[in-house]
Structure 1
């Protein structure tokens, strides 16, 4: 084997070891999420407030399903019905989902900026082991609470992909459904949330 082939084999072996190490330690999700934040920075994945919403015609806005309940990180049950009258930002995510991890810093900034008396955040983890979501949130230092479903999600909130984000206005109408990652910490989106009070 010549020196060039041997060098290439060593380089490929090293890359394989690095990727295997990331995969088996679980850090591959965070590394991919970090890389996907670069895509978010371009703005091409932002929620399309013209396409993802039903704001043009009030008659086409579906009524939100408030029959859901959640368990928070302290083990307390929270009924969605108790949030009626607030704008609800509902994000369905998982710790193993790189796009979910990518959008979390922006969601946390949005959470810190909004009026908590008017907007409720439900960061709904679909991890099989909810403790993973609790540990992830704690390790990252995010300010929002994480939740697990306390039962089956109503069909209105079942999506074939995650992350999926829903916004329910204060009158109880589902006004936004965005499938895939998004940058929610934008002036336009913050104004959109305020318009839903």
Structure 2
């Protein structure tokens, strides 16, 4: 008995091939996530109202920059801190990196905002190679202390924002498009907020 090749069979086979490629190839998966971001998916939820009670009081978390300089969140009081935990092998992390780079470009000259892109693998050479390959100009850090499990449980990407009083006011796990007008307005509101 001969089987007919139908449009449904071709479509099913094509979908299975795409799914297999996405499972095997992180770059393909990150490209799909990025494409979904471009059509409006993966928008980070902004706390409404934006002046609601902080998620948590000030934390004392230490990071190390690419030059070995230690930076502590308590030392940055008075500044809004954007922290993104990521890894080079993580497709959702790779997918959101262009939007974080664009957001950073908007705020990099603002002395009241600090961006910390934290490589969870603590591998500067690999992370810097990734950044250079993609022409990202993000400030790289590694962790130099423990992070409380209630704000970072090990899932990446995880993004945190601390207000200028050092309180955690934003926490999001998963890929998101941070280069959108709502998130930019949220950061601007935090910058202007008296502490």
Question: Which band: TM-score by shorter chain?
Answer: 0.7 to 0.9
Corresponding residue number in structure 2 for 1:44 = 41
TM-score between both structures, scaled by the size of structure 1: 0.78
8 Å contact kept, 1:55–1:61:
no
CA RMSD of aligned residues (A): 2.9
Aligned pairs (5 A) from 1:2-21: none
Aligned residues: 178
Corresponding residue number in structure 2 for 1:91 = 84
Corresponding residue number in structure 2 for 1:4 = none
Say whether 1:62 aligns with 2:62.
Answer: no
2:111 to 107, 113, 117: 117
Deviates more, 1:90-99 or 1:68-77: 68-77
In 1: Cα distance, 2:102 partner to 2:176 partner: 13
1:71 to 52, 56, 64: 64
1:173 to 167, 177, 190: 167
8 Å contact kept, 2:55–2:169:
yes
8 Å contact kept, 1:103–1:181:
yes
**Post-superposition shift, 1:121?**
0.4
In 2: Cα distance, 1:54 partner to 1:137 partner: 35
| Local SS of the residue matching 2:160 | strand
TM-score between both structures, scaled by the size of structure 2: 0.78
**Post-superposition shift, 1:160?**
4.4
**Post-superposition shift, 1:79?**
2.3
Q: Which has the higher helix share?
A: 1
Say whether 1:32 aligns with 2:25.
Answer: no
